[in-house]
Amino acid sequence: MRYVQGLCLLLVLGVGMWLRLGTAAGTEVDHPIRNDAKEYVAYAWNWKFQGVYSPDITTLLGTSKAPPVPDAVRPPGYPLLLRTFMPQYLNEHFAVRMAYVQAWIAGLTLLLTTLLAMALLGAWPGLALGALVALSPHQSVYVPYLLSETTFGAVLMLALAAGVAALRTASRRARYVLGFLSGVLFGMACLVRPTLNQWIPVLLILLLVPAVRRFWREVAVLALGFVLMMSPWWVRNEITLHHMTDSEKMLVTVQQGSYVDLMYQGRPDTYGAAYRFDPKAAQAASSWPDLMTDLRDKFASQPAAMVRWYVFGKVESFLSWSSAEGWGDIFTYPVFRTPWLSAPAFIAAASLMRGMHAPLMILSVLGALMAFLPVTRRQFDERSADAWRFLALMYLFAIGVHVVGLPIARYSVPFQPLGYLFAGFQLVLLYRFYRERQRQELSGEAQHA
């Protein structure tokens, strides 16, 4: 049986890598160095060839000889990856090379998710869940984009896997080592994308809850690993810019996400870019007092719509199939060609996953909430139940961060494997609960007989 399961694992990984490498080989992005990608490339180029961490693209283009101005708006993790493979004179080969690199990084995410699912759900449910991650077009279409989603997703899964291993091991020393490693990896994830910057402070606050307090040693070593990983970036910012972090990106993100249904004054032509049509947007995102005033005015003018948007609409938008600011369907930037629009096998995979997407996302949220009920500890062993609750905290935290900020579906892509994991958890939990009730009924009938 283990031999068959091993072959199935290889099949899942093989199909996943065929889709990812096929996407890298067969996709041509229209002007891949644009928008956010342009900033990442500029950071990497200036860092490597100017010795300054700056998003100033004019130095790369040769249109300015002034030294670039350093900043800390974007963390250095993804630019560091680009810097590793970046030539001094950029051409189309750089984007192609990065696509293949990111295809293998996406393969690591698939491997980690499948192994984690097999460990927590059992071999066959885990393999079925791994097949979903393998077939997911979102996990492949970002491979050719010079964006941080693919790298962030892989580092995030590494951090979560280390955290789960720490909670499931019986050795106290191993728990501390793995907890520390998880903290280091969470720090690496924050250096790729700052979404999780508040995750460790939230865990420390949760130590006030009696049920969480028994994990204070694990949380402490996790926080230590996180701080040690982040410290060089904080020290650089303090020395160079005289502040540890830059709140500009956070201000902009919260302001851009404050438009109901991502539209300015309900106008469909502004969908996905409402802030571009709002003459007050720049002022509202200039400082926290101005942002609070802007939010207060919006809630005062349309309270029901704003409450509905923040409670339900943002979650739906974040977990949706298509990204509001994207080119269309699963694509963020336009493409000249891609197998996802031409190859029958790719189109079939996308059609299958599109039909399953909404149910899977609903099950993922329900599963994350169900993880905290007593039934979880009854249907799984104690250490696995602790692991599920750790993962649920992360998943719900990620959703909450984007409810506060900008809930575009592109940002959910790194968390999608975790969502699939909770969809599988929900189905397995319901199945085990059903079997438990059947056994109780049979036992009751036997006693009466």
Res. 25: pLDDT tops 80: yes
Beta bridge partners of 328: 331
* Sequence-distant (≥ 6) Cβ neighbours of residue 43 within 8 angstroms: 53, 54, 55, 74, 76, 79, 82
Please identify which residue in the block is written with the tokens 């979102």.
138
Q: What pLDDT shows up at residue 140?
A: 97
Q: What pLDDT shows up at residue 243?
A: 80
Res. 1: pLDDT tops 80: no
Contact 340, 137 (CB under 8 A): yes
Contact 29, 95 (CB under 8 A): yes
Beta bridge partners of 335: 29
Query: pLDDT tier at 186 (50, 70, 90 boundaries)?
Result: very high
* Burial of 114 per CB tally in 10 Å (0-12, 13-18, 19+): buried
What is the Cα–Cα distance from 320 to 316, expressed in whole angstroms? Answer: 6
Give me the numbers of helices (H) and strands (E) for the chain, helices first please.
21, 2
Contact 250, 405 (CB under 8 A): yes
- The alpha carbon of 39 is separated from its chain's Cα centroid by a whole number of angstroms, namely 20
DSSP H/E element including 138: helix 138-141
Mean pLDDT over 219-223 rounds to 95
Q: Is the dihedral of CA 236, 154, 381, 434 positive or negative?
A: positive
Q: Which residues of 239-258 are buried (b: 16+ CB within 10 A; e: fewer)?
A: eeeeeebbeebbbbbbbbbb
Segment 352-378, tens digit of pLDDT: 999 999 999 999 999 999 999 998 888
Res. 446: pLDDT tops 70: no
What is the Cα–Cα distance from 1 to 12, expressed in whole angstroms? Answer: 17
Res. 393: pLDDT tops 80: yes
Shortest CA distance to 78 belongs to which of 151, 138, 139? Answer: 151
3-state secondary structure of 33: coil
Res. 442: pLDDT tops 90: no
pLDDT greater at residue 64 or residue 344: 344
Res. 328: pLDDT tops 90: no
Contact 343, 401 (CB under 8 A): no
Specify the length of the chain in residues.
449
Contact 426, 367 (CB under 8 A): yes
Other Cβ atoms closer than 10 A to 301: 9
Considering only 62-76, 118-132, 142-156, 188-202, which range has the smallest mean pLDDT? Answer: 62-76
Shortest CA distance to 424 belongs to which of 112, 129, 127, 109? Answer: 129
Please identify which residue in the block is written with the tokens 């690591």.
108
Query: pLDDT tier at 381 (50, 70, 90 boundaries)?
Result: confident
Contact 360, 366 (CB under 8 A): no
pLDDT greater at residue 47 or residue 439: 47
pTM for this prediction:
0.92
Task: Find the Cα–Cα–Cα–Cα dihedral 83, 87, 92, 97, rounded to 10°.
Answer: -60
Res. 441: pLDDT tops 80: no
What is the Cα–Cα distance from 365 to 153, expressed in whole angstroms? Answer: 19
Contact 34, 327 (CB under 8 A): no
Segment 59-116, tens digit of pLDDT: 888 887 888 999 999 999 999 999 999 998 888 899 999 999 999 999 999 999 999 9
Q: What pLDDT shows up at residue 66?
A: 83
Q: What pLDDT shows up at residue 317?
A: 93
